[in-house]
């Protein structure tokens, strides 16, 4: 019996085209994913192969989200087919077994639903073979496929996911017997998956994501987050880690569901609820002699309006009152509230509930859930008449199809509006409840219109059109979803087309900033919205012809009927819309392609190639360096224009006579386009490559060694019209922030213009490129350059005259010498107090200023008027930093220390001499009212203040390790400021957890190779993450004093010294005398090599001893691992000092005993005595050593 139903189910499914359509779609997606170099989904970049086991798993896992829809179709059909065909009463009265029927159908559907996902496997097979053979990609980008990758993915992802979701859907379908409810269940599963993502934002809650995500995607994400490229290429998923736990939990849940569904399933129909017929009223309804009341039918424009309103009401109410919509509202509200309660994490700290933060939460929900609703309800509405069987009457009534269509589209839009407004109201209430009393209502409303309403209009038209054209509800759903989620992927990633004119239904995004409002992107966003809305209207106008009225089935009939509706009036409307669309298209095209052209990634690649081919030969041509400089910068915030004139001297610091000057005036890697013109006296422009931006000037009198000339450089940015994506946000209406490098040319050949990606370089037969010069103290060229200016200048004097509109303050580094007004504008003159790097920022915005003095130094915070939350904290942080640094490192050379707020587009803080821009999205809005939270503001400001020493007094040679000397040291310095203020090891540990995460996750995403700290090549996860962790641990092992002594002597030797610039070797020379011989190994393990530890506390117990004390015994398993640059790990012999200890409480708050012991073997036992009853034993309680898994380091007694 089981077999019969099972096979029957399969044979029926095999005959349906759906199976093949879905199968081919997955095959195509995976094939393209493998062969297309631009698609890096899952992280197939650098050394990670395009068909690495990790990548296959990522594809399978993510595709199984789409696979859910397919599962729904199969399981729902298996459960409900008999009911929907009214065959139930017949089949259930035959002598079939319940189990055979129930499970036969279920497993049949299960088998079927796994078939489409096999397409992913086929796609990988095809892609891995076809790609290299057809020359679409380099053969070394793919590896051999192993069978067990497919098998394991099938049994760990495809089958369980279909089983779990199938069980839920099957049970729900049998319970409620409604296709709609089954689909709602699917949508809820998908939304559930999205919600679990919010747990990933903080490392303390990510295990929740691993468990609660039914599809196991998050679990694998967490399992693999520290994978290096070698592991990604070789590790095949298997039964371990979070994924395994997740699978077990969910399969058990699914079993429970399916068994209980089986138990409650019965062939016997439950008694239908007896309809309570109300007794007719006592008054007898006598049949009167009657005639129909005389009514007047009229058909004119007013009639159409009334019909429209009536249709709208009907369509809108039926959805508004539907359970689906109510569930969506609840789901939307829950996601939002969840995000509001758990979101905003940066080092575990939340931010104040300023309106733009709220938009960051509710807008994505409105977009995602809104899109799901649009897709779902577009089908519901288009099929409403047919599914409620009223189509005969409606279709035969004298309304114009376009009226009905417009009414449907309007209800679709209004439904989303209701949802959107609902979430906005929740957001506002949340702001009010949490004490933020001035929500910006107008910002909500405008954001709703720009990013919500306009998009709903465009997509409603598009989705309804799909439903009309395809004329099959579920296939249309699938196509809609594919278009929504994959179209952008294909257009932008695979084909490299960046124009929003081809990216179906999408428009440029703005980021709302309290400082700069909706930014310059708004204008182009609105134009693109208009463009897509007109496109949608055009589709709908065409669609209205093909609208099914009556029982048309064949395409021939539809065309015939369409011809009939093609009236003059229709043609007129069509022509009008086509014209409007054409005009808008032209205007948008003119603005985004003609007056604001941009280069596609591929075009830039071609330029990079020719540039390197043509001009690489000049790389080592001796050139004069930049010397002292005066900038004159005029900012026009309202017009978004900036004019700069730089007077700069050129110094020949070489031993050679220089007769020609080389400049690169285009930076391909930067989006911002500046017109740069050089005025060099007594020189002739002998080469002017306008396309590639390379110029050579021949000097009439060559520049002798040691001599100089003064030149003038004009740089202009003028904005006009609107762009596809805003290229130059740097020049803003409120919040201009540029660096001097934008308004200067690059001296000579610009290495940064080269192709960076090693695989791309291979394609063009370029030798592989070094990210940085190899660490070598004897390298004569690179030790003469500092890494900051890449040899363009050394220590120089800087002066700036900067002007802006009268309502703004303009800022540049240095002491403000003079301030005046002219021509209705404000002028400022700044001068650096000390020679410095030629690293200068020019800023302008409407600022309020808060000031304080410390030891004669002006401490200043420039901030946006509404962001006054943490100003005092910032001033304190500057002061704390100055105290520690002046005491431990040496004098602070500037007369001022300024923190300046910048718009949140810049998600960072940065240190210029005495002047430190800091993002509004960071410290200015961070909520640190809870004193126990990590004080990230202090950490960041202390870091930037530390740069005033480490980068601005001492700067590394232009080679490996340079950023350790600036970034790692600044991180270390900031940690010391924190440590000395809070004096609490457990809080420092809590803070450092995030640095561990930064390092371990970062090395997993490495595209080339991981290097030891002292050879870091500007890799953030190494110089920030590992740098923090290692230097903090080092000061714990050798002592803070010794560490600072090493730093100070190093600084004293190299402070403001020109070439040769110091390298990390020079620092290690200063460090060595401070490290006792017994700990010398730390320098090798931590700084010169890559070392990981793996410790496990296998057993821990204690005995009460006769003397009233307790003897603790710990069984420890320990490994020390060395990692090479590709991530290959080797276990090595140990001789390491490691802390072990016990806590009095299980929360690991009170450490009652800790001892540094020597680890030498893989299995060891340690015992010691403590005075009170211990609760928990732990290895490395302060977490100083780099371990990937730390949960197994501790044990409760």
Q: How far is the CB of 187 from another protein (least distance, A)?
A: 19
At its nearest, how many Å lie between another protein and the CB of residue 577?
21
Work out how close the CB of 919 gets to another protein at its nearest, in angstroms, rounded to a whole number.
50
| Residue whose token pair is 């017997």 | 177
Binding interface with another protein (CB under 8 A): 275, 277-278, 280-281, 285, 287, 290-299, 302-303, 306-307, 309-311, 313-314, 317-318, 321-322, 384, 388-390, 392-400, 549-554, 557, 560-561, 564
Q: Would you state the structure tokens that stand for residue 309, as one six-digit string?
A: 């309103």
**Consecutive H or E run containing 1141:** strand 1136-1143
Shortest reach from residue 568's CB to another protein, in Å: 13
Report the nearest approach of another protein to the CB of residue 289 (Å): 9
Nearer to another protein, 281 or 907 (CB): 281
- Host H or E run for residue 1195: strand 1194-1196
550 or 681: whose CB is closer to another protein? 550
Select 389 or 1107, whichever has its Cβ closest to another protein.
Answer: 389
Least distance (Å) from another protein to the CB of residue 198? 34
Min dist. Cβ of residue 43 to another protein (A): 47
Of 134 and 277, CB closest to another protein: 277
CB neighbour list of residue 1: distance below 8 Å, 6 or more residues apart: 96, 97, 99, 100, 101, 104
Q: Closer CB to another protein, residue 380 or residue 879?
A: 380
CB 412 within 8 A of CB 378: yes
- Smallest distance, another protein to C-beta of residue 414, A: 16
CB nearer to another protein: give 83 or 1056.
83
Task: Please compute, for residue 499, the number of CA atoms within 13 A of its CA located in the half-sphere on the CB side.
Answer: 16
Could you give the CA distance from residue 190 to residue 173 in angstroms, rounded to a whole number? 17
Whichever of 561 and 1074 has its CB closer to another protein, that residue is 561
Structure tokens at 107: 């497993």
Number of residues that make up the chain? 1197
CA angle (497, 498, 499) in 5-degree steps: 100
Q: How far is the CB of 578 from another protein (least distance, A)?
A: 24
CB of 181 to another protein, least distance (A): 13
Tell me whether residue 326 or residue 613 sits nearer to another protein (CB atom): 326
**Do residues 820 and 654 touch, judged by C-beta distance below 8 A?**
no
Query: Least distance in Å: CB of 571 to another protein?
Result: 16
CA distance 12 to 8: 6
Q: Are strands 1176-1179 and 1194-1196 parallel, antiparallel or unpaired?
A: antiparallel
* Shortest distance (Å) from residue 272 CB to another protein: 12
Find tokens 């087919």 and name the residue.
Answer: 81
Beta bridge partners of 862: 849, 900
Task: Give the chain's end-to-end CA distance (angstroms, integer).
Answer: 55
Smallest separation, CB 34 to another protein (Å): 41
C-beta of 554: minimal distance to another protein in Å?
6
Nearer to another protein, 550 or 1073 (CB): 550
Residue 929's φ and ψ, nearest 5 degrees, are -65, -25
3 state DSSP class of 1182 = coil
Q: Compare residues 139 and 292 and give the one whose CB is closer to another protein.
A: 292
Q: Which residues pair with 1159 in a beta bridge?
A: 1136
- Closer to another protein by CB, 318 or 758: give it: 318
What would the two tokens of residue 1098 be?
A: 């296998």
Peptide bond into 257 cis (omega under 30): no
Nearest CA to 1185 out of 1128, 1121, 1100 is that of 1121
Q: Is 359 or 404 the residue whose CB approaches another protein more closely?
A: 404
Q: Which CB sits closer to another protein, 94 or 286?
A: 286
- Among 742, 763, 572, smallest CA distance to 672 is for 742
By beta-carbon proximity to another protein, the closer residue of 3 and 554 is 554
Residue 298 or 1107: which CB sits closer to another protein?
Answer: 298
Output 314 or 482, the one with its CB closest to another protein: 314
Return the number of the residue (89 or 1052) whose C-beta is nearest another protein. Answer: 89
Give the shortest CB-527-to-another protein separation in angstroms: 38
Report the distance separating Cα 1179 and Cα 326, nearest Å.
52
Measured distance CA(830)–CA(848) in Å, rounded: 19
Q: Classify 587 in phi/psi space as left (phi over 0), alpha (psi -120 to 50) or beta.
A: alpha
The contacts of residue 962 (CB under 8 Å, 6+ apart) are 772, 786, 787, 955, 956, 1016, 1018, 1063
Nearest to 627, CA basis, from 761, 795, 790, 763: 795
Q: Which tokens belong to 151?
A: 């098998």
Tokens encoding 665? 């005036």
If one counts every other C-beta atom within 10 angstroms of the C-beta of residue 1164, the result is: 18
CB of 318 to another protein, least distance (A): 5
CB atoms within 10 A of CB 333: 16
Calpha distance 873→922 (Å, rounded)? 13
Cα of 209 vs its chain's centroid, Å: 18
Q: Smallest distance, Å, CB 564 to another protein?
A: 7
Q: How far is CA 408 from CA 380, 387, 1133, in A?
A: 10, 15, 73
Torsion over CA: 949, 953, 956, 958 (sign): positive
Under 8 Å between Cβ of 595 and 720: yes
Which CB atom, from 393 or from 433, has the smaller least distance to another protein? Answer: 393
Residue 277 C-beta: closest distance to another protein, Å:
8
Parallel, antiparallel, or unpaired: how do β-strands 857-863 and 896-902 relate?
parallel
């Amino acid at each position: 019996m089981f077999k019969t139903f099972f096979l029957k189910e399969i044979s029926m499914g095999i005959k349906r085209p759906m199976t093949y359509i879905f199968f081919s779609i997955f095959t195509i997606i995976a094939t393209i994913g493998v062969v297309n170099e631009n698609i890096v989904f899952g992280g197939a970049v650098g050394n990670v192969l395009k068909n690495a086991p990790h990548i296959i798993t990522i594809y399978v896992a993510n595709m199984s989200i789409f696979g859910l829809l397919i599962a729904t179709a199969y399981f729902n059909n298996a459960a409900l087919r008999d009911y929907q065909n009214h065959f139930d009463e017949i089949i259930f009265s035959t002598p079939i077994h319940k189990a055979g029927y129930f499970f036969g159908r279920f497993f049949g559907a299960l088998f079927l639903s796994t078939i489409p996902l096999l397409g992913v496997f086929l796609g990988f097979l095809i892609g891995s073979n076809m790609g290299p053979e057809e020359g679409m990609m380099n053969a070394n980008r793919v590896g051999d496929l192993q069978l067990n990758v497919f098998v394991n993915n099938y049994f760990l992802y495809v089958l369980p996911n279909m089983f779990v979701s199938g069980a839920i859907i099957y049970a729900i379908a049998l319970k409620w017997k409604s296709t709609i409810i089954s689909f709602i269940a699917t949508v809820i599963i998908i939304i559930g998956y999205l919600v679990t993502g919010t747990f990933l934002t903080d490392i303390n809650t990510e295990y929740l994501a691993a468990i609660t995500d039914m599809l196991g995607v998050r679990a694998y994400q967490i399992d693999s987050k520290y994978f290096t490229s070698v592991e990604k290429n070789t590790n095949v998923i298997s039964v371990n880690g979070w994924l395994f736990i997740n699978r077990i939990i969910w399969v058990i849940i699914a079993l429970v569901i399916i068994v209980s569904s089986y138990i409650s399933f019965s062939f016997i129909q439950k008694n239908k609820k007896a309809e309570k017929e109300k007794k007719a009223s006592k008054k007898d309804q006598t049949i009167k002699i009657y005639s129909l009341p005389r009514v007047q039918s009229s058909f004119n424009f007013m009639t159409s309006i009334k019909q429209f309103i009536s249709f709208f009401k009907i369509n809108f109410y039926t959805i508004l009152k539907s359970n689906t919509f109510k569930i969506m509202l609840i789901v939307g509200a829950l996601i939002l509230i969840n995000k509001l309660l758990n979101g905003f994490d940066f080092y575990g700290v939340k931010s104040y509930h300023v309106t733009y933060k709220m938009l960051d939460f509710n807008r994505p929900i409105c977009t995602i859930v809104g899109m799901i609703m649009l897709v779902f309800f577009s089908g519901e509405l288009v099929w409403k008449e047919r599914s409620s069987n009223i189509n005969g009457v409606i279709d035969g009534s004298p309304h114009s199809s376009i009226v009905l269509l417009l009414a449907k589209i309007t209800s679709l839009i209004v439904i989303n509006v209701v949802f959107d407004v609902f979430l906005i109201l929740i957001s506002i209430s949340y702001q009010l409840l949490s004490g933020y009393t001035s929500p910006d209502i107008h910002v909500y409303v405008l954001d709703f219109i720009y990013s919500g309403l306009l998009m709903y209009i465009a997509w409603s038209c598009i989705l309804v059109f799909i439903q009309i054209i395809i004329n099959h509800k579920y296939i249309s759903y699938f196509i809609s979803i594919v278009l929504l989620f994959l179209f952008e992927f294909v257009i932008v990633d695979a084909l490299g087309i960046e124009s929003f004119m081809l990216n179906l239904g999408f428009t440029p995004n703005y980021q709302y900033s309290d400082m700069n409002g909706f930014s310059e992107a708004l204008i182009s966003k609105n134009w693109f919205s208009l463009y897509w809305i007109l496109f949608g209207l055009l589709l709908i106008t065409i669609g209205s012809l093909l609208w099914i009225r009556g029982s048309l089935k064949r395409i021939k009939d539809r065309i015939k009927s369409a011809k009939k509706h093609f009236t003059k009036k229709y043609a007129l409307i069509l022509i009008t819309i086509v014209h409007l669309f054409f005009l808008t298209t032209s205007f948008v095209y003119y603005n985004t392609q003609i007056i604001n052209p941009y280069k596609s990634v591929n075009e830039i690649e071609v330029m990079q190639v020719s540039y390197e081919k043509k001009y690489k030969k000049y790389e080592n041509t001796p050139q004069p360096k930049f010397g002292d400089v005066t900038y004159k910068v005029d900012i026009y915030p309202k017009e978004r224009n900036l004019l700069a004139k730089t007077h700069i001297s050129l110094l020949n610091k070489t031993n050679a006579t220089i007769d020609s000057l080389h400049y690169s005036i285009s930076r391909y890697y930067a989006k911002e386009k500046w017109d740069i013109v050089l005025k060099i006296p007594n020189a002739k422009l002998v080469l002017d490559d306008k396309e590639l931006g390379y110029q050579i000037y021949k000097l009439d009198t060559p520049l002798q060694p040691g001599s100089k000339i003064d030149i003038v450089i004009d740089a202009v940015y003028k904005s006009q019209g609107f762009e596809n994506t805003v290229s130059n946000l740097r020049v803003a209406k409120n919040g201009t922030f540029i660096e001097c490098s934008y308004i200067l040319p690059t001296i000579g050949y610009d290495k940064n213009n080269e192709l960076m990606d090693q695989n791309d370089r291979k394609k063009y037969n370029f030798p592989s490129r070094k990210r940085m010069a190899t660490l070598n103290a004897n390298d004569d060229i690179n030790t003469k350059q500092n890494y900051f200016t890449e040899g363009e200048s050394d220590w120089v004097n800087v002066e700036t005259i900067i002007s802006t509109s009268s309502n703004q303050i303009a800022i540049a580094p240095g002491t403000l010498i003079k301030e005046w007004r002219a021509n209705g504008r404000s002028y400022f003159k700044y001068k650096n107090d000390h020679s410095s790097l030629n690293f200068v920022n020019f800023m302008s915005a409407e600022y309020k200023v808060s000031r304080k003095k410390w030891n004669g130094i002006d401490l200043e915070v420039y901030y946006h008027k509404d962001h006054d939350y943490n100003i005092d904290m910032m001033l304190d942080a500057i002061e704390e930093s100055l105290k520690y640094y002046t005491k431990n490192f040496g004098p602070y050379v500037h007369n001022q220390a300024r923190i300046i707020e910048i718009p949140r587009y810049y998600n960072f803080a940065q240190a210029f001499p005495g002047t430190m821009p800091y993002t509004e999205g960071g410290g200015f809005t961070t909520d640190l009212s809870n004193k126990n939270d990590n004080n990230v503001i202090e950490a960041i400001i202390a870091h930037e203040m530390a740069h005033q020493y480490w980068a601005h007094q001492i700067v590394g040679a232009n080679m490996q390790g340079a950023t350790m000397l600036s970034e790692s040291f600044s991180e270390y310095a900031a940690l010391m400021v924190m440590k000395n203020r809070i004096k609490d090891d457990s809080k420092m540990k809590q803070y450092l957890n995030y640095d561990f995460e930064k390092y371990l996750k970062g090395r997993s995403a490495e595209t080339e190779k991981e290097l030891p700290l002292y050879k870091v090549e500007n890799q953030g996860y190494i110089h920030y993450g590992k740098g923090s962790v290692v230097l903090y641990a080092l000061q714990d092992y050798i002592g803070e004093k010794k560490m600072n002594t090493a730093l100070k002597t190093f600084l004293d030797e190299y402070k403001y010294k020109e070439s040769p610039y110091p390298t990390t070797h020079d620092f290690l020379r200063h460090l060595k005398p401070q490290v006792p011989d017994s700990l010398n190994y730390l320098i090798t393990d931590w700084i010169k090599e890559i070392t990981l530890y793996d410790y496990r506390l296998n057993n821990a117990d204690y005995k009460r001893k006769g003397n009233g004390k307790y003897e603790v015994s710990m069984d420890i398993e320990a490994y020390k691992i060395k990692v090479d640059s590709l991530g290959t790990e080797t276990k090595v012999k140990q001789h390491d000092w490691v802390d072990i200890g016990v806590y009095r409480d299980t929360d690991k708050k009170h450490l009652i005993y800790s001892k540094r012991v020597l680890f030498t073997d893989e299995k060891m036992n340690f015992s010691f005595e403590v005075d009170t009853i211990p609760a928990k034993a732990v290895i490395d309680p302060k977490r100083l050593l780099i371990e990937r898994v730390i949960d197994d380091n501790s044990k409760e007694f």
